[in-house]
Amino acid sequence: MGNIDQTAPLLVAQISDLHLFADERQDLLGWNTWASWEAILEHLEMAQSLPDLILLTGDLSQDETEGAYRRLAHRLTPLGIPTYWLPGNHDHVPTMQRTLNTPPIYADKVIERGGWKFLLLNTNVPGQVYGALSGDSLKWLDSSLTQTPVHQPVVIALHHPPFLVGSPWLDKSGLQNTSALLDILDRHPQVRLVLFGHIHQEFEHQRRGVSYLSTPSTCIQFMPQSTNFALDDARPGFRMIQLYPDGRFETLIHRVTFRQQLNFAAQGY
């Protein structure tokens, strides 16, 4: 047997904000979310290299039903790619825990792959659009990072953005206790990358050597820098990330050639 290449990167697909329904015919503001999700999967399947890991960063369902999650699992399972998830504000956590827990889909919130550690956070606040981290979650995060060797790079994933993104209507529904999160991250130099969703657009922010990145939604896109709710005509997509064992990473947004007639007059959803 040949030597294993220890410098090969771990290929991660961050996919977010699917907003799927139990009924595949149902639409969101005129957009069939199942159809664009299928386009995303077809794009993945046709890629030269399949991802080593799929990370779903919330709002997997729109209707919070067991049927939506089961259909999602049924479509992902044949890929055979280890898939991990965290909830968004449109998700129902107990139902997710009950249905999204059969390999290759895992409910684990601590993952170690390719020399990296992944810590997945729950910012879901039942009945609210905004997000928050509970006291227990913050203690768990701090403890997990304290136990991580200083040389091991870490990815933090959550649904809600821990920064203002320049859209007042979206900024009202971000993470409510950002300072508590940043206080912890600032104490742990292992953290290299923070991934999130919720804002349905590509976004990047640098802070104290840490990259904070969002990804487009697999369905509708929100207009960047908009004061009020506004849809964008950008195509659906996802983020691919190459993670190297020494803590370096490279990332690229992939968009699919898929369009539907949107209700651009919508004031929300």
Can you give the pLDDT of all 269 residues of the chain as single tens digits? 344 445 789 999 999 999 999 999 999 998 999 999 999 999 999 988 899 999 999 999 999 999 999 999 999 999 999 999 999 999 999 999 999 999 999 999 999 999 999 999 999 999 999 999 999 999 999 999 999 999 999 999 999 999 999 999 999 999 999 999 999 999 999 999 999 999 999 999 999 999 999 999 999 999 999 999 999 999 999 999 999 999 999 999 999 988 777 766 677 77
Amino acid occupying residue 240: M
Look up residue 214 and give its two tokens: 């969002």
How far apart (Å, rounded) are the C-alpha atoms in residues 169 and 229?
6
How far apart (Å, rounded) are the C-alpha atoms in residues 266 and 120?
32
Whether the CB-CB separation of 219 and 36 falls below 8 Å is answered with: yes
Whether the CB-CB separation of 153 and 189 falls below 8 Å is answered with: no
2 CB burial (10 A radius; 0-12, 13-18, 19+): exposed
**Cis omega (within 30 of 0) for bond into 104:** yes
DSSP secondary structure, 21-63, as one string: -SSTT--BTTB-HHHHHHHHHHHHHTSSS--SEEEEES--BSS
Write down all domains in the chain, each with its CATH number in brackets: 10-255 (3.60.21.10)
